[in-house]
Amino acid sequence: MKLLGLIPYITLLSVAVCIDFPQLQILKSWVKSDVQGKAAADLIRRQIGDRVSDFVIEIDQGIGPQDTFELSSLEDGRVRIVANGGVAVAMGFYHYLKYFCNGQRTWAGKQTELPAVLPVLKTAVKVSTPDRSVFICKMYIMMYQSYFIST
Predicted TM-score (pTM) of this structure:
0.72
Q: From CA 147, how far away is CA 151, in angstroms rounded?
A: 6
pLDDT of res. 107: 77
Confidence of residue 37 (pLDDT cuts 50, 70, 90): very high
Confidence of residue 151 (pLDDT cuts 50, 70, 90): very low
Question: Mean pLDDT across the stretch 39-55?
Answer: 95
Contacts of 57 (CB under 8 A, 6+ apart): 37, 40, 41, 44, 81, 83, 89
Q: What is the CATH number of domain 27-150?
A: 3.30.379.10
Phi, psi at residue 69, to the nearest 5°? -135, 155
Q: Where are the domains of the chain?
A: 27-150
